[in-house]
């Protein structure tokens, strides 16, 4: 269990983490979400005592990290996967870590095998790809068989098989009763991996709730209807005060009425329904909606204005553009040539715009 009380970190004027109070409970995967610069990594560094809080406290299983006699057995963490000496071999790196806690070679071989690096155990880390580096970082986190596992963007750079492997691994660790705290910008992945979410923005706690409740709270309020009597039902629903739009023949999108109310209205009018579906928001939509005001680093003032309730006359086009993945990488984000890996991309990055779009 990780417990934070009023955890705060200031860097000069900048308040990177602002009074965070929440618990990360054992037995479930807790996702840690927030836009770029929200304070996730800083929070995780404070859990490990790598950064000292300006105020407030954080403990793991009731003690500060540094107070644990064998911390590798308490908390396994992946913060900066690349912070490994490049001329060390994978096994050499893990053996050095293992030696600090009396862990033997057998366990090192075990975790190397577990993360799929057994074949390159004696290769230098400097020659590793991004994903191999991540795998090594995860191996290091698992080395001490810790009760708490904390991973900062573990799937960053992993291939699809690797992403699936991390999902299975994290859920397995939680099922064994461990505390699993993981940050990621890959919303689709968090939606199926994390049972609970902590969402931060500008250092502050925005949400601390189950993934299901989080998504439900951002439900679109829209109901999708299919019927062979669309015109008839449309009249009826408009009269009941609903807003109705249609994207295809025989289909209606209804706002302002629940699915029960729409079903009743259809029954009263003798309208046949082929489908009646409340439209769920995705985790990504829920996240974007909730953190829209907390996004600090957003290129181009126009990107911020492209929400559907603006007077953008070409909303459809704007939405399409926004959902197009950025082709340009922010400078320095990643070495070129690693394009096969999933880029570290926040949902906000999906809003990043080309010059053309900013000008539009």
Residue 38 binding target from ligand ATP, Mg ion, none, CB below 5 to 8 Å by type: ligand ATP
- Alpha-carbon gap, residue 46 to 21, rounded angstroms: 13
Q: Which is nearer to Mg ion, 40 or 93 (CB)?
A: 40
Q: Please give the size of the binding site for Mg ion, defined by CB under 5 A.
A: 2
Strand 55-60 with 196-201, pairing = unpaired
Q: What are phi and psi of 124, to 5 degrees?
A: -70, 140
Residue 42 CB, shortest distance to ligand ATP, in Å, is 3
- Alpha-carbon gap, residue 7 to 22, rounded angstroms: 9
Nearest-5° Cα angle at 292, 289 to 294: 135
Is residue 134 close enough to count as binding ligand ATP by CB under 6 A?
A: no
Residue 14 binding target from ligand ATP, Mg ion, none, CB below 5 to 8 Å by type: ligand ATP
- Alpha-carbon gap, residue 287 to 40, rounded angstroms: 15
Residue 346 CB, shortest distance to ligand ATP, in Å, is 6
Q: Which residue is nearest to Mg ion (CB)?
A: 41
Binding residues for ligand ATP restricted to 231-290, rule: CB under 6 A: none
DSSP 31-82: EEE-STTSSHHHHHHHHTTSS--SEEEEEETTB-GGGSSSHHHHEEEES-TT
Q: Please give the size of the binding site for ligand ATP, defined by CB under 6 A.
A: 11
Binding residues for Mg ion restricted to 168-197, rule: CB under 5 A: none
Binding residues for ligand ATP restricted to 32-71, rule: CB under 6 A: 34, 36-42
Buried b (16+ CB within 10 A) or exposed e, 71-101: bbbbbbbbbebeebeeeeebbbbbbebbeee
Residue 241 CB, shortest distance to ligand ATP, in Å, is 42
Q: What are the tokens at 98? A: 């293992």
Of 4, 7, 39, 41, the residue at the interface with Mg ion (CB under 5 A) is 41
Q: Which is nearer to ligand ATP, 76 or 203 (CB)?
A: 203
Q: Which is nearer to ligand ATP, 149 or 318 (CB)?
A: 149
List of residues contacting ligand ATP (CB under 6 A): 11, 14, 16, 34, 36-42
């Amino acid at each position: 269990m990780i417990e934070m009380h009023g955890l705060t970190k200031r860097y000069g004027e900048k308040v990177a983490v602002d009074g965070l109070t929440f618990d990360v409970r054992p037995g479930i995967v807790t996702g840690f979400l927030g836009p770029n610069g929200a304070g996730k990594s800083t929070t995780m560094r404070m859990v490990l005592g790598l950064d000292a809080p300006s105020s407030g406290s954080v403990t793991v299983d009731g003690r500060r990290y540094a107070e644990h006699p064998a911390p590798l057995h308490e908390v396994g963490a992946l913060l900066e996967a690349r912070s490994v000496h490049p001329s060390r071999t994978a096994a050499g790196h893990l053996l050095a870590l293992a030696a600090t806690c009396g862990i033997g070679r057998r366990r090192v071989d075990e975790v190397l095998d577990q993360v799929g690096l057994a074949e390159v155990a004696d290769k230098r880390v400097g020659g590793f790809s991004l994903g191999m580096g991540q795998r090594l970082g995860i191996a290091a986190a698992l080395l001490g068989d810790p009760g708490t596992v904390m991973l900062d963007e573990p799937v960053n750079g992993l291939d699809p098989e690797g992403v699936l492997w991390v999902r299975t691994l994290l859920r397995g660790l939680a099922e064994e009763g461990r505390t699993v705290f993981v940050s990621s910008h890959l919303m689709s992945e968090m939606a199926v991996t994390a049972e609970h979410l902590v969402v931060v923005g500008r250092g502050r706690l925005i949400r601390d709730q189950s993934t299901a409740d989080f998504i439900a709270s951002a439900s679109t309020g829209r109901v999708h209807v299919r019927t062979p009597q669309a015109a008839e039902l449309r009249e009826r629903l408009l009269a009941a005060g609903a807003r109705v739009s249609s994207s295809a023949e025989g289909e209606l999108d209804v706002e302002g009425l629940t699915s029960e109310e729409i079903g009743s209205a259809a029954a009263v009018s003798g309208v046949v329904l082929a489908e009646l579906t409340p439209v769920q928001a995705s985790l990504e939509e829920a996240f974007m909606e909730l953190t829209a005001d907390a996004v600090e680093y957003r290129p181009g003032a126009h990107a911020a204005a492209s929400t559907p309730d603006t007077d953008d006359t070409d909303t459809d086009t704007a939405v399409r553009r926004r959902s197009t993945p950025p082709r340009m990488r922010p400078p320095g984000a990643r070495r070129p040539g690693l394009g096969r890996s999933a880029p570290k991309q926040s949902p906000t990055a999906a809003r990043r715009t080309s010059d053309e779009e900013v000008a539009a």
